[in-house]
């Protein structure tokens, strides 16, 4: 496990991470800069491909920074109607005048139980 932190992180938290055996990378002064983070993961750890399973805020930051190439979406036949539920990609600030990203369908598979698996390529603007 590697935790991405900004330079604002406290010494006590870093000591806690070290004691727990968790590695970390500094990726920004005030906040984690996702472009710096992806570059450091590539340069320091040799990681060239990531699978994101983060929340909408993290996913949205990476999409907004142009760092998402593919989206894999599994649609399960269940309805959730709660309020305040975050989306797959939460992009902070005013909504952009266009969609967050244009997608091109790469593949679609029907799975048991009415489940559908879609894979999309993110088109660069």
Q: What is the pLDDT of residues 71-113, one digit of tens each?
A: 999 999 988 777 877 778 887 767 655 667 889 999 999 999 9
Q: Give the tens place of pLDDT for each residue, 7-48.
A: 999 999 999 999 999 999 999 999 999 999 999 999 999 999
Indicate the number of domains in the chain. Answer: 2
Instruction: Indicate whether 37 and 75 sit together in one domain.
Output: no
Task: Give all strands (DSSP E) within 1-125, no chain letters.
Answer: 2-5, 23-26, 70-75, 102-111, 115-123
Q: Are 107 and 72 in contact (CB under 8 A)?
A: no
58 & 46 share domain: no
Residues 59 and 104 in one domain: yes
For the entire predicted model, the pTM comes to 0.75
* pLDDT score at 96: 58
């Amino acid at each position: 496990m590697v935790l991405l932190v900004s330079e604002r992180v406290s010494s006590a938290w870093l000591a806690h991470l070290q004691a727990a055996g968790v590695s970390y990378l500094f990726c920004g002064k005030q906040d984690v800069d996702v472009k710096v983070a992806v570059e450091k993961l590539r340069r320091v750890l040799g990681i060239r491909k990531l699978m994101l399973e983060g929340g909408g805020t993290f996913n949205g930051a990476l999409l907004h920074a142009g760092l998402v190439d593919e989206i894999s979406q599994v649609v399960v036949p269940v309805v959730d109607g709660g309020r305040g539920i975050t989306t797959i990609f939460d992009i902070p600030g005013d909504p952009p005048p266009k969609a967050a990203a244009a997608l091109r369908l790469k593949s679609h598979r029907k799975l048991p139980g009415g489940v559908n698996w879609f894979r999309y390529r993110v088109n660069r603007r």
